[in-house]
């Protein structure tokens, strides 16, 4: 039965799926970093990159853009969701940047207040010390 599963994974070009099955068989104790490291050590990364590169070279960009435009015309709600997502993401970036600046500004003020300040050396202070 195990050889049948391996044959199926080879048919589908599923070296990665075989690794996933192995990771699943280990109870999910294998992290994604371990899987990526294993793929690199086995030299499978070059195979995957070559396959992706050939798929990209075969793709017709103009046809792909036309298909995307047609899809967006048929489904205008997707455009609304995309614009909403971009707006929320931009707002979050601005908010987090301002919050970070505010936090740094307050920390700088607190650090200045906490530092003990020596009295300025003036003529009157020098006379008081001398007497």
Asked whether 39 and 16 are in contact (CB, 8 A), the reply is: yes
| pTM more than 0.85 | no
Q: Tokens for 34, please give them.
A: 């371990």
pLDDT, tens digit only, all 131 positions of the chain: 444 444 444 444 565 666 666 656 555 556 777 777 777 788 777 777 788 788 878 878 888 889 999 999 999 999 999 999 999 999 999 999 999 998 888 887 777 776 555 656 565 665 666 65
Q: Tokens for 35, please give them.
A: 């899987």
List of residues 6+ apart from 71 with CB closer than 8 A: 78
Task: Give the up-direction half-sphere exposure of residue 43: CA atoms within 13 A in the CB hemisphere.
Answer: 0
DSSP, res 52: H
């Amino acid at each position: 039965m195990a050889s049948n599963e391996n044959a199926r994974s080879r048919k589908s070009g599923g070296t990665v799926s075989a690794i996933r099955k192995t990771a699943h068989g280990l109870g999910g104790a294998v992290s994604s970093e371990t899987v990526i490291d294993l793929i690199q050590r086995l030299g499978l990364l070059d195979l995957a990159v070559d396959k992706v590169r050939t798929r990209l070279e075969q793709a017709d960009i103009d046809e792909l853009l036309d298909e995307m435009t047609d899809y967006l015309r048929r489904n205008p709600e997707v455009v609304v969701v995309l614009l909403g997502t971009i707006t929320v993401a931009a707002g979050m970036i601005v908010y987090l940047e301002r919050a970070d600046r505010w936090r740094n500004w307050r920390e700088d003020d607190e650090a200045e207040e906490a530092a003990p300040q020596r009295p300025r050396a003036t003529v009157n202070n020098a006379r008081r010390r001398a007497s």
